[in-house]
Chain A
Amino acid sequence: MSDKTTQPDQLPSTGQPSSTSASPVSSGAESNPEAKVAIEIKDFDAFYGDFQAIRNINLNIPEKTVTAFIGPSGCGKSTLLKWINRMNDIVPSAHAKGSIRIGDLQILDRQTDVVDLRRRIGMVFQKPNPFPKSIFDNVAFGPRLHFRIDRNDLAELVEWSLRKAAVWDEVKDRLHKSALGLSGGQQQRLCIARAIAAGPEILLMDEPCSALDPGSTSRVEDLIYELREQYAIVMVTHNMQQATRCSDRTAFFFKGEVVEEGPTEQLFTNPKEKKTEEYVTGKFG
């Protein structure tokens, strides 16, 4: 247990983060401009083979904040997201220049230990992708990879993660049943619990609600909004209402560049750039 220094602090089940009733109010007002930087992106270019998917992006992603990436398809927002935890390593033609840092860690460095990097940066995917294992084993997957942890601590960690992901009440009686029996929305919250259980500081979410029905979407959105108290969250979304509902800051991407970045409310109501205004008012996209 000594190596669990980066675990979320209130590990034992202190209380349930379930507030599914109250929908989060419009968010921009609550963003804190003095928040510390969680991810610093500087002069970043990314390529697939010869194609340049991202041009010279400079962006700071603050701690304990939900940052939404919006923009039309193919604008590079998912590519940037996948570079933050080096998921693009799997893509043979992908390469990048510039710098992405979390703390002192230079992510793009060849020597960077991607195993530990991905533990520190959790990822939630577009389609819920629970492993065909029990609910418990899904959540325990990350901890078992990274920590030497005894049974009781593991069980506690699993419960804590499931509570944190607001899915505990629905699964507590069927922890050892297959995760594939859950509904899509439950599966996605399970995947969030699975990401949290590895003890990350940052959560990356790639259109986390695009495969969910409206009811499940609003539950996952509530959850994302609550999780920002503990994590820096970066969320790619195609849904502008979703960005206004649950993000503090928004970055608008267009053709591989960040056109504008700022507090969500301001970006949507009073954008500085013409292109942003055209996009958020639905003139294209």
Chain B
Amino acid sequence: MTSNSANATETPSFESFHRRNPTVSKISQTLVMTALVGCGLFSLAITIGIIVMLATQSIGFFYNEEVAVNFWQFLTDSRWTIGQTQGVPRYGILPLVSGTLRITGIAMLISLPIGLTCAIYLAEYASPRVRSILKPVLEILAGIPTVVLGFFAIKFITPWLLQPLGDFKTFNAGSAGIAVGILCLPLVTSLAEDALRSVPNSLREGAYGLGSTRLEVTLKVVVPAALSGIISAFLLALSRAIGETMVVALAAGSTPTLTGDPRVPSQTMTGFIVETFQSESIEPDSIGYYSMYAVAAVLFLFTFSITLIGQLIRMRYREVYN
């Protein structure tokens, strides 16, 4: 480039430069715009498609030639016997909901307090060195396939952790709940840590400057300031736990039970769908076939309302720092 430096002192002759063709940039602008809108519309279309599928198919559960299920019975009956051959069929979704809530509840009891504590430690206390070791460990935990966690629950959590404590069955809600909790732990930790770390340092300095100890800075200033992010993390974990399938299909058993007892088998909504889908007796347009969609629609309503609540909470608690 040394040869150019001699000329660099003179004003370049801009008129002699070849102008870039403005049509090219206009076309590329249009192309990019189309691609962006297209991708946005694509995800919207998928969402609408799934909602339409769930709605139209689950209507078949309530209106068909074989047995039209009473909607009220579906919501209130205490038993769910689809898939079982003997006896009068009962179509109450409550046992499946109970299974989902039990396992989700246990999972949250495990993952929220431990996850938040880990996040606080990582964000506010750990030295950079310790953090550089713990973060990858957490990511490894996040990368464990759920099927592995499922048989970890059956082979380890149930016999070694729970059965010494009480009369836990081989398949039970307790071990599945704990395994789902372990599954959600990295999610809660990393999202809550992000929320804590995004709190501006000026707030920490302000609190230190008033004579706060590190614990006071953390609990009285940083955690409240990160509250909306922490709640979002909790809600995402909740959605994840409600939708979790593999762990519960393996470890929770396949008996729908309407109870609060963590020791007995329990089938969740997701567990039921998997089991029904795999059973060979399911024929199209049968009551079992439609029941999957009805349960899936209820499941979707659960996760959808959690997302909605999450949005509302974010709007309510979001802090704008300048």
A: residues with CB less than 8 A from B are 85, 87, 90, 114-119, 122-123, 125, 127, 129-133, 141-142, 145-146, 178, 180, 184, 191, 194-195, 198
Contacts of A194 in B (CB 8 A): 206, 210
Contact A180 B211 (CB under 8 A): no
Is B258 an interface position by the 8 A CB rule?
A: no
Binding stretch for chain A, among B39-47, B78-86, B212-220, B233-241 = B212-220
Q: What separation, in Å, do the CA atoms of A125 and B212 have in the docked complex?
A: 16
**In the complex, what residues of A have CB within 8 A of residue B202's CB?**
125, 127, 129
From residue A146, how far is it (CB to closest CB) to chain B in Å? 6
Considering the chains assembled together, what is the distance between the CA atoms of A90 and B201 in angstroms? 11
Which residues on the A side are within 8 Å of B321 (C-beta)?
132, 180
Bound CA span A146–B210, Å: 9
**Interface flag for B319 (CB, 8 Å):** yes
Q: Are A116 and B319 in contact (CB under 8 A)?
A: no
Pairwise interchain contact A145-B210, C-beta atoms closer than 8 A: yes
Report which B residues bind A (CB closer than 8 A): 200, 202-213, 216, 220-221, 224-225, 319-322
- The smallest beta-carbon distance between B216 and chain A, in angstroms, is 6
Q: How far is B320's CA from A114's CA once the two chains are assembled, in angstroms?
A: 31
Q: Let me know if A142 and B210 touch, CB within 8 A.
A: yes
| C-alpha gap A184/B322 in the complex (Å) | 9
Contact between B211 and A142 (Cβ–Cβ < 8 Å)? Answer: yes
* CB-nearest residue of chain B to A123: B209
A167 to B202 alpha-carbon distance, docked (Å) = 21
Q: How far is the CA of A87 from the CA of B319 in the complex (A)?
A: 26
Asked if residues B208 and A90 are in contact (CB atoms below 8 Å), the reply is: yes
Bound Cα distance from A7 to B221, whole angstroms:
24
Which A residues touch B205, using CB under 8 A? 87, 90, 125, 129
Complex: A119 Cα to B322 Cα, angstroms = 27
Asked, given contacts A87-B209, A115-B211, whether A180 binds B320 with beta carbons under 8 Å apart, the answer is yes
Q: Which residue of B lies closest to A126 (CB)?
A: B202
CB pair B211–A118 under 8 Å, yes or no, is yes
